[in-house]
Structure 1
Amino acid sequence: MNNERAGARLTNPRAERVRKVAALARRAVRTREGLFLAEGPQAVREAVAYRPELVREVYVDPQRCPQLHQAAAEAGLAVYEAAPEVLSAMCDTQAPQGIIAVCEPVDVSLESVLPSAGYVAVLAQVRDPGNAGTVLRGADAAGADAVIFTDSSVDVYNPKVVRSTVGSLFHVPVVVGVELDSVLAQCRAAGVRLLAADGAGDRVLRDSPLQGRHAWVFGNEAWGLPQQVRAQCDEVVRVPIYGQAESLNLAMAATLCLYASADAHHR
């Protein structure tokens, strides 16, 4: 970002490099620069271990994260030691965890994931960063083949989304910015069955056949999936509620659906 050499210790929180890193908390800057921030030991550990080719720079307090400091250096990455006040100025959080990485985008094209996909998650206008990141984390745990963020969904590179994935952003193929109608059409063309997850579904999750290739379509936290979207899907499936809860949180319902898919595919 400017001419400090890797390995130098950064001590000035008002330095130009620090300001440029901190600016990546803003979407417009991320889009312009083609970069995003991964904050905290778990996110950086997974980036270094699984996608080191995407890690542009690492800023670390070596007293707090000595092992990650060493791992990043051994991976041949540009590593800068940073004073706590510098990391505080760079990070989006109020209590930085001692390390931050500047990364290139991880997203891939829809065309690259559909041909071999067994089951995927489609997030249709999902706006809450915590929900979006938790769905991605659940998809990773359930072995999903991709998570697709349609246009009008939250930016997957929002620092809150990245943090809530707890490193899973670097494990699962992610598609961003595709119009929902295009996603549905391309899934149908690829022979991927469309399952709308909705509390008004006619079929209960346990009775839905999930052995074949399919895409779960999850709607907005407040209004769910519009009728015209549900009508384009092959089936509308609901997670049963046996107690008195009015509904399930989106991320909870999505994780249950994806684990049902995992169970069907790994029996």
Structure 2
Amino acid sequence: MPELTNPRAERVKAVRALAGRPARSRSGRFLVEGPQAVREAVREQAVRVHDLYVTDDAAARYREIVADAVARGVVVRTGSAEVLDAMSADAQGLVVVADLVAVALEDVVAPGPRLVAVLAHVRDPGNAGAVVRAADAAGADGVVLTRESVDVHNPKVVRSTAGSLFHLPVATGAELPAAVAALRARGVTVLAADGTGEHDIDDLLDVAGAAPAGVPDLAAPTAWVFGNEAWGLRDEDRALADAVVRVPIRGRAESLNLATAATVCLYASARAQR
């Protein structure tokens, strides 16, 4: 296609507007920025991708991404560096416009998952994206974001997932009680991660696969519920879980970052389930 050279063109403005939720809601599309996320969007869910915008330099640097896009029927449009910068300050020469990833709670629950991350009132985009990435790395079967959590199509969330958004189902808009009930109906134990937990995650790993009565078994199908970055889980949210589990602080740190604590919990389950 002819190169796009005008950073003030209507097409460029329309792409840039997708950084905001109103434009995403109206169009049903969102931005995917940077080589890693664009590579995975094209490779894993090309059917959702409408356009790939790329500078000549990026096209030469990431030939495999462009070739993959062409082979999968994605429209590739070249643009000047000024055009790509106008579309996104985080483009690194590559931007994709794709359909919103619409996943329902049932899509995560119906297959009978063994490991799920549930984000309740998680508002920080970087943390939410990092948890999706950690869940993917730990081999989780899905992620659920409650209605009060950040929009998973927020550009910072998408970037923070580093492409993992396109690897596993990420359901949005669920109510926490409904999510817990649906998971429990599938035989999934629901554990709330909280510093006040009655169970220590290290102790649970010691008895995984042979946990005594009344003690959660990390080897069993498990959903971890993670709360807000600032105040954690509300009392009513903790009450929904089968048990509350803490990650021990061995040193002098006041607490763990949400994404770090989530990674510890998800990998503990992954290890026990192996």
Q: Could you say which TM-score interval applies, normalised by the shorter chain? A: over 0.9
Deviations 1:166-220 (A, max 9, x none): 1111111100011112111212222211100000001011223211111100000
Corresponding position of 1:138: 134
Q: Is the 8 A contact 2:107 2:171 kept in 1?
A: no
User: Is residue 86 of structure 1 aligned with residue 49 of structure 2?
Assistant: no
SS at match of 1:148: strand
Report deviation, 1:253.
Answer: 0.1
CA contact (8 A) 1:135 1:251 kept: yes
Q: Distance in 2 between matches of 1:173 and 1:96?
A: 24
The yes-or-no answer on 1:69 pairing with 2:63 is no
State the partner residue of 1:14.
8
1:111 aligns with 2:106: yes
**Could you say if the C-alpha distance between residues 200 and 132 of structure 1 is closer, same or farther in structure 2, counting changes exceeding 3 Å?**
same
* Structure 2 SS opposite 1:11: coil
Residue 59 of structure 1 aligns to which amino acid in structure 2?
Answer: Y
> Is structure 2 residue 108 aligned with structure 1 residue 102?
no
Q: Tell me how far apart the structure 1 counterparts of residues 71 and 152 of structure 2 sit (CA, whole Å).
A: 29
Structure 1 unaligned residues grouped into runs of 5+:
1-6
Question: 1:253 aligned to 2:261?
Answer: yes
Q: Provide the residue aligned with 1:30 in structure 2.
A: 24
Corresponding residue of 1:4: none
Identity percentage over the alignment? 56
The count of aligned residue pairs is 258
Structure 1 runs (4+) deviating above 3 angstroms are: none
The secondary structure found in structure 2 opposite 1:241 is: coil
Report if the CA contact (8 A) 2:41-2:163 is conserved: yes
Structure-1-length-normalised TM-score = 0.94
Structure 1 residues 210-234: Cα deviation after superposition (integer angstroms, max 9, x where no partner): 1111110000000101111111110
Paired residue secondary structure (2:12): helix
> Matched residues in 2 for 1:232 and 1:18: separation?
46
Contact persistence 1:199–1:239 (CA under 8 A): yes
Cα distance between partner residues in 2 of 1:70 and 1:171: 20
The gaps in structure 2 that reach 5 residues or longer are: 205-216
